[in-house]
Structure 1
């Protein structure tokens, strides 16, 4: 009897100890997982470039909507927190659609100014062009283009919507750029001034100006009311492949074959920042459409990157194309990013 009771006690103690041990191991495993996750977050945060200037770090935290200083926090801790905040603010992106229609390499893609996440509600949502001179209009409730714009006999490098949504600008390797009235699908303006092919075009937010970047390594700003070039920007060492106005109206970004992106201040007529953006030529630059605090770049190294101001430090890399990234754009609400490539595909990326 005593032996039986002793055996039962031993068995009970064994199962009780085993259960407590298992619970303890689970708690330890959860704690280890949390520590490893935190370690990985801090490791990723250290890979994000953060300014060593404490004033710029505070400005970055303010732009991210975070307190610029916590109680007892010094410059080093603040800099580390800035990197973590940037990491938390960067959205993941998911591919949602691949479209095909051009017969040759796609050169550029551009969202209509009124395009939103409810893209199927509009007849025309995007325009694209290719190296064979073709220009196509797209509606995203169809996998096929809805219209073609005909008239170019040489390579069309870029397409750009006027803020009104009625006009479309195109650039051509015949050293000119053109403006089209889509209501009648006719050319209404033909501008010349670059000594080599015009690769990119972008309109000022108020619609009064146009900026062009050429293979002659110069950027020009045009007054659409007079048709005259009113500003000449010099500084890149190689061809300019992309140009984009900031929503604030006085900053302008250019991407070049010298692998850099430059941000210009039109009020001072000078370059403010030179960003060593990619390992190959920068084919496309775009400011965030809402406030211009973020800048996107695409390049011939097959990737696109997201940069943040102040300091224009890297935030996110979009990798997935099998060929050179030729162009990119953001939807007006900032929820979609479109990229196009030499692999003859468009990719649409959505913030989760």
Structure 2
């Protein structure tokens, strides 16, 4: 299926270079550079980090994943979105994934998924320009929203589960009401294609990352643009706030992870270690670690305090597009172009 500029890694044997972006229909594997991240974990026995589960989950590349917990019954759900046009809902039962629902409706590949903070509703966006809301208890579609051509590349639920933010190709963040399915308002970055979006856990901020490497942070209450950050020169694939909403971690095609002080817009750290594009980042709920995934086929766990890599997983056979922690921070899920879901144990 078609995608926006820069949606594939550099050709095998070539480094991602410059800001020149191109579209490639095939999966192009990235060459791994020398491993810069120390492994195994230095402060804890390496056995505390382990892969627990792997599963071939879809018939095409998996580009997005989310892990949620139902606030009513405590059940945990993993959802995966794939270029096979499907969203799959998995229950985490007795330390294994059980397929609960296969959600059909999208006409092209699914590029972003999220679970509401109540754990009751899932959202998915597709190259077909539609956002779909799903009831996770019944597997039924609740709403279908026509977002406009390439206007739903990324999406995220607000912390109160009342709104859904999506990034558009014209530099606008569109905010939809979950109950109404209507666009409530837009935040204009006056920039380019938005590839990534994140709400701060305290509900005060919304950050967006664009294809030209620009990051914008908005005050949600006022709609005012607070900060524009220019630390990356290539597309921003992912953003994640720390649980206390004080830090913003960004992942880019330039191969770097950057950490920003949200209040003052200061660069607090630049991390290297991946051998190619960094495709996703996610913070651990306990604020101690965050995880990243890359076109170099690896998943890395980073200490948020020392800002060093503490473990690397090499279980995927291709680009790793999505990573998320579970609610307790004891597990990580990852998905990629190899069509597999991997679950890892982490020390807490």
Residues 184 and 322 (structure 1), Cα distance of their counterparts in 2 relative to 1, 3 Å cut = farther
1:195 equivalent in structure 2: 191
1:222 equivalent in structure 2: 218
What are the residue-to-residue correspondences of 1:19-98 with 2, within 5 Å? 49=38, 84-88=42-46, 90-95=48-53
1:261 equivalent in structure 2: 257
Residues 286 and 213 (structure 1), Cα distance of their counterparts in 2 relative to 1, 3 Å cut = same
1:324 equivalent in structure 2: 319
Residues 176 and 267 (structure 1), Cα distance of their counterparts in 2 relative to 1, 3 Å cut = closer
2:81 equivalent in structure 1: none
Give 3-state SS (helix, strand or coil) of 2:201's partner.
Answer: coil
Shift of residue 105 of structure 1? 5.0
Between Structure 1 and Structure 2, which shows a larger proportion of helix residues?
Answer: 1
Asked whether 1:342 is paired with 2:330, we answer no
What are the residue-to-residue correspondences of 1:239-250 with 2, within 5 Å? 239-250=235-246
Rounded Cα–Cα distance in structure 2 between residues aligned with 1:319 and 1:141 = 34
Shift of residue 273 of structure 1? 0.9
Shift of residue 212 of structure 1? 0.8
- Indicate if the aligned counterparts of 2:251 and 2:258 stay in contact, CA closer than 8 A: yes
2:65 equivalent in structure 1: 109
Task: Report the count of equivalent residues.
Answer: 271
Residues 49 and 164 (structure 1), Cα distance of their counterparts in 2 relative to 1, 3 Å cut = same
Shift of residue 95 of structure 1? 2.0
Structure 2: gaps (5+ residues)? 1-35, 78-90, 93-117
Rounded Cα–Cα distance in structure 2 between residues aligned with 1:125 and 1:93 = 28
Equivalent of residue 150 in structure 2, options 130, 148, 154? 154
Residues 339 and 313 (structure 1), Cα distance of their counterparts in 2 relative to 1, 3 Å cut = same
- Indicate if the aligned counterparts of 2:54 and 2:341 stay in contact, CA closer than 8 A: no
Per-residue CA shift, 1:244-298, capped at 9, x if unaligned? 11112211111111100001112332111100131111111111122x2101111
Residues 326 and 139 (structure 1), Cα distance of their counterparts in 2 relative to 1, 3 Å cut = farther
- Indicate if the aligned counterparts of 2:237 and 2:251 stay in contact, CA closer than 8 A: yes
RMSD over equivalenced CA pairs, Å: 3.3
Asked whether 1:300 is paired with 2:295, we answer yes
My pick for the range that moved more, 320-329 or 262-271, is: 320-329
Residues 164 and 250 (structure 1), Cα distance of their counterparts in 2 relative to 1, 3 Å cut = same
Between Structure 1 and Structure 2, which shows a larger proportion of strand residues?
Answer: 2
My pick for the range that moved more, 203-212 or 334-343, is: 334-343
Rounded Cα–Cα distance in structure 2 between residues aligned with 1:317 and 1:130 = 30
- Indicate if the aligned counterparts of 1:111 and 1:127 stay in contact, CA closer than 8 A: no
Give 3-state SS (helix, strand or coil) of 2:263's partner.
Answer: coil
Shift of residue 164 of structure 1? 1.1
Shift of residue 156 of structure 1? 3.3
Rounded Cα–Cα distance in structure 1 between residues aligned with 2:164 and 2:57 = 21
Residues 113 and 127 (structure 1), Cα distance of their counterparts in 2 relative to 1, 3 Å cut = farther
Asked whether 1:315 is paired with 2:310, we answer yes
Equivalent of residue 279 in structure 2, options 278, 283, 291? 283
Shift of residue 94 of structure 1? 1.6
Give 3-state SS (helix, strand or coil) of 2:44's partner.
Answer: helix
Question: Which gives a bigger RCO, structure 1 or 2 (Cα 8 Å, sep 6+)?
Answer: 2
Rounded Cα–Cα distance in structure 1 between residues aligned with 2:150 and 2:211 = 15
My pick for the range that moved more, 199-208 or 82-91, is: 82-91
- Indicate if the aligned counterparts of 2:151 and 2:166 stay in contact, CA closer than 8 A: no
2:110 equivalent in structure 1: none
- Indicate if the aligned counterparts of 2:290 and 2:301 stay in contact, CA closer than 8 A: yes
Residues 255 and 84 (structure 1), Cα distance of their counterparts in 2 relative to 1, 3 Å cut = closer
